[in-house]
A = this chain, B = another copy of it.
Amino acid sequence: MPLDYLSTLSATLRGIQLARDTDLADYLIAPDPSSVRLTRAVAGVDHNGDETTIRVVEERPLTIFLNSQEIVTAMTIGDYPAYLALGFLRNQGMLRDDEDITGVDYDEELETVIVRTARATDYEDKMRRKTRTSGCAVGTVFGDMMEGLEGVTLPASPVRTSWLYALSARINRTPSLYLEAGAIHGTVLCRQDKPLVYMEDVGRHNAVDKIAGWMLSEHATPADKILYTTGRLTSEMVIKTAMMGIPVLASRSGFTAWGVEIAQQVGLTLIGRMRGQRFVCLSGEDRLIRDADPAKVADEPRKQGRKGAS
């Protein structure tokens, strides 16, 4: 069965009407589901014993170095390795916003990225403390997870509920690896009702790190941004969002208790279970401007329910 047929079928099965070009016009970076490097066709048998071929997402190691020091090996789909490295180091507090980055060298064959800074770095001690975090796909957070959050104060940027509804509708209709192959997470950097940078990865933490890397490279201001994720609102996601200085984190998935607790501590607006006209806000509700009438928002038919990559 030809793959283009399969992917069209999978999108159709999910009952998702794909976006019009006008919906995609705003994206600075959108998913590239057609990229042959990100998915692989695998042959198998189905429930009837018939041969079938499905597309599955790639998952490859990427070892991140900061100057001469090996920091971590991440499992990633492999797009935007430089953004992933920069964002991971930034969110771990190993790179400063004003860091003088003298080079980022990616070697596809060796599966390594070396980030070079003018400043001499040494995080041996920091790396000795390891925390396995929850949230879909690993986050290895070195050192005290709350480290660096003390200084964080998030701006009181207002958020219109009409933006949230528009973002959710547009993002769910955007062609993506998720619609193509599933088993992947998406995180989207947004401004008002416009999705700007849509990253996907096997690990949700990678998707958000790639966005952090893009922001660092582009010197993007976080104050007027909204972060949307397909995944759960765990402590790790909340901490990363706060570390990035973004005041609002929204998801169609659920919460963990510690994620909520940290969001309340740092004053982050945390919105979850966002489907159709519904959502729940468990922190920072003061930023919300309720300019949209939920009753006028089409609720998601179950068949359009986008499942998270579990």
Contacts and interface: CB of A to CB of B under 8 A. Distances in A.
Contacts of A181: 254
Contacts of A193: none
Interface stretch (A21-29, A125-133, A241-249): A125-133
A67 interface: no
Interface string A62-103: 000000000011111000000000000000000000000000
Of the listed residues A134, A201, A230, A278, the one surrounded by the most CB atoms of chain B closer than 10 A to its CB is A134
A277 interface: yes
Chain copies in the assembly? 2
Nearest to A278: B47
Main secondary structure of the interface of A (DSSP, over half): mixed
Contacts of A42: 255, 257, 260, 282
A1 B175 CA distance: 38
A151 interface: no
Interface string A283-306: 101000010001000000011010
A279 B132 contact: no
Contacts of A133: 75, 137-138, 203
